[in-house]
Amino acid sequence: MTRAVFLGSPQWAVPSLRGLTGPEARALGIAVAGVLTQPDRPAGRGRHLQPCAVKSAAQALGLPVLSPPSLRTEDGFRLLADLAPELAIVCAYGQILPRRVLDLAPLGCWNLHFSLLPRWRGASPVQAAILAGDAETGVTLQRIVEALDAGPLAARSAPVAIAPDETADALGGRLAELAARLLVETLPALLTATPSLTPQDEKQATLCRKIDKSAGLVDWTTESATEIGRKVRAFTPWPGVASFLGKRRLGLVRVEPVYGEDEAGQPGTIGAGGLVRAAQGSVRLLDVKPEGRAVMSFAEFARGTPLAIGATLAPVPAAD
């Protein structure tokens, strides 16, 4: 039997965990010795500690789960080393792995990355592809090296089209299933200890950063209708996109970029039918989430907030 460990945390990593524990993997003699996830985090109104999706899935599968705060500490490293892994599979784990972790498994440490590397190395490749207006994306299985997502490629999926109205949540869900299939198909090669690897073309590399919550705020004076529309799709469900109507936050849940239709007025001003002027073009507000309330259509919001028409949306709350 080949002892494998899986390192992952969010829902997008769950299909790959199931692939590594599924019948095809078992037929190859793979046994998952343990699963490493991020520690439980506060969530919900009560801010109670909640396990991540991979931890819940691993427990349902009867697998040992470890959640060290860091693998850079001696205690964290020892927890992993005691599992004696021969193969390590990583999918959205949430930590950068130190060199001694990468050297721990003789069959290698491999990462399922949700882009067609070398495009969109980094922490937010799904969101970055939508923000950039990419027509397609995919999944790559790469050997992890110390440089960020720069390792050689063991497998690369066929490109998949990004739908014009697709959110990061929906696209990531599709790529998660694709990643699981790619992993299962590539496992026989990984077990040979000498899989065929393709170096990345450094000249084609692009980078994306970890998303900050403030990135979802819209500046109507500098962002175009196209950019705002992409932002709403890329930041759904997190961190969400919003502007401030006076002192209150207004979440923009679903919008439609519009060009050539009543682009008079100042950027950020809400017009009839929820049409808001942007730096270039306009954005029609379709669904919004007023602060402290549920998602509703803009028409419903305007009926309850008649002063919204003619008011101005801004990236910061109004001053006292």
Same-domain status, 305 and 158: no
Taking alpha carbons only, the member of 168, 264, 276 closest to residue 225 is 276
User: Quick check: is 166 in a domain?
Assistant: yes
Same-domain status, 132 and 219: no
Taking alpha carbons only, the member of 139, 168, 142, 138 closest to residue 154 is 142
Residue 240 belongs to domain spanning: 213-314
Q: Is the pLDDT of residue 119 over 90?
A: yes
Q: Could you tell me the pTM of the whole model? A: 0.95
- Amino acid 264: pLDDT: 62
**What CATH number corresponds to the domain at position 310?**
3.10.25.10
Do the beta carbons of residue 286 and residue 229 sit within 8 Å? no
Read off the DSSP letter of residue 312.
B
- Mark which of 208, 235, 260 sits at the end of a domain: 208
Does residue 319 or residue 185 have the better pLDDT?
185
Same-domain status, 248 and 128: no
- Amino acid 131: pLDDT: 98
Same-domain status, 227 and 185: no
Same-domain status, 99 and 240: no
Adjacent-strand bridge partners of 141 = 112, 155
Q: Report the number of distinct structural domains present in the chain.
A: 2
- Amino acid 47: pLDDT: 77
- Amino acid 304: pLDDT: 93
Report the distance separating Cα 250 and Cα 311, nearest Å. Answer: 12
Same-domain status, 138 and 222: no
Give the tens place of pLDDT for each residue, 48-107: 889 999 999 999 999 999 999 999 999 999 999 999 999 999 999 999 999 999 999 999
User: Quick check: is 160 in a domain?
Assistant: yes
Region 290-311: mean pLDDT is: 94
- Amino acid 261: pLDDT: 66
Same-domain status, 105 and 252: no
User: Quick check: is 299 in a domain?
Assistant: yes
User: Quick check: is 180 in a domain?
Assistant: yes
Give the tens place of pLDDT for each residue, 242-282: 999 999 999 999 999 998 765 667 999 999 899 999 999 99
Range in 37-51, 145-159, 170-184 with the lowest mean pLDDT: 37-51
Q: What does the mean pLDDT of the chain come to?
A: 95
Same-domain status, 142 and 279: no
- Amino acid 262: pLDDT: 59
- Mark which of 161, 191, 208 sits at the end of a domain: 208
- Mark which of 208, 233, 252 sits at the end of a domain: 208
Half-sphere exposure of 35 (CA within 13 A, CB side): 29
Under the banding of pLDDT at 50, 70 and 90, the label for residue 320 is: low
User: Quick check: is 319 in a domain?
Assistant: no
Same-domain status, 60 and 157: yes
Same-domain status, 217 and 138: no
Task: Dump strand ranges (E) for the chain.
Answer: 2-8, 30-36, 41-43, 48-50, 65-66, 87-91, 109-113, 121-122, 136-137, 140-143, 153-156, 160-161, 207-208, 242-245, 248-258, 275-277, 282-290, 296-297, 313-314
Q: Is 217 helix (H, G, I), strand (E, B) or coil?
A: strand
Give the tens place of pLDDT for each residue, 125-169: 999 999 999 999 999 999 999 999 999 999 999 999 999 999 999
Give the tens place of pLDDT for each residue, 2-26: 999 999 999 999 999 999 999 999 9
Taking the chain, what is the end-to-end CA distance rounded to the nearest angstrom? 67
Give the tens place of pLDDT for each residue, 184-243: 999 999 999 899 999 999 999 999 999 998 999 999 999 999 999 999 999 999 999 999
Q: Burial, 132: exposed, middle or buried (Cβ in 10 Å; 0-12, 13-18, 19+)?
A: middle
